[in-house]
Amino acid sequence: MSTLKVDTIQNVAGVEQARLVQMKTLTHSTLSTTTATWPMDTSIPLIGEGAALTSLAITPTNTNNTLIINWTTPAVVNTSSGRDSFVLFDNSDAAVQFSWSEQPSASYSSYGGFQHIVAGSLGTSELTWKIRFGTSTGTLQMGFLSGLTWGDIGHSTFTIMEIRA
């Protein structure tokens, strides 16, 4: 087995290229259920809407760096038709990104998740990012497929990466 160790990667002009500074990851692998709803209108979701699902904190090492925030979840089940959604809230509780799926009937639905990028002006204090979830009607189940758990390998992943500016 070979190991490659480097301190920096530079282009031909000697300028260091972006690199991963730190990464925080949270795996969500339990059944989460809610009947909490989102208003289906043109307003931005509020922190009091939907239901709290998970949160992840990171302390940036440099205010000029970039955060790349990813949420992926394999599937949800809704016991009725409606819109099921996941919303990302930033440290100030403002909604900044979402993922949703239209349910034409009580059936399985896949989510690809979302990615959100924050470049610069991060500060160097801890930032907590929150994910809330909800539905327009019925009951939303996330992280479990009733009778079809596939050996409980269907996990959701919440990842925040800090990339050097």
For 39, the token pair is 């208003």
Position 140 scores a pLDDT of 79
Cα-trace Rg, the chain: 19
Residue by residue, pLDDT tens for the chain (165 residues) are: 667 666 667 778 877 776 889 999 998 877 788 889 888 788 899 999 999 999 999 999 999 999 999 998 876 666 666 778 899 999 999 999 998 877 666 656 666 689 999 998 899 999 999 999 988 887 777 765 555 555 566 678 999 999 987
Classify domain 20-163 by CATH architecture.
Answer: Sandwich (2.60)
Position 1 scores a pLDDT of 65
Residues forming beta bridges with residue 163, ordered by sequence position: 20, 66
Where do the domains of the chain lie? 20-163
For 47, the token pair is 């922190």
Contacts of 102 (CB under 8 A, 6+ apart): 83
Tell me which residue of 71, 73, 69, 70 sits closest to 30, measured CA to CA: 73
For strand 156-163 and strand 95-103, is the pairing parallel, antiparallel, or unpaired?
Answer: unpaired
Buried b / exposed e over 117-151, threshold 16 CB at 10 Å, is: ebeeebeeeebebbbbbbbbbbebbbbbeeeeeee
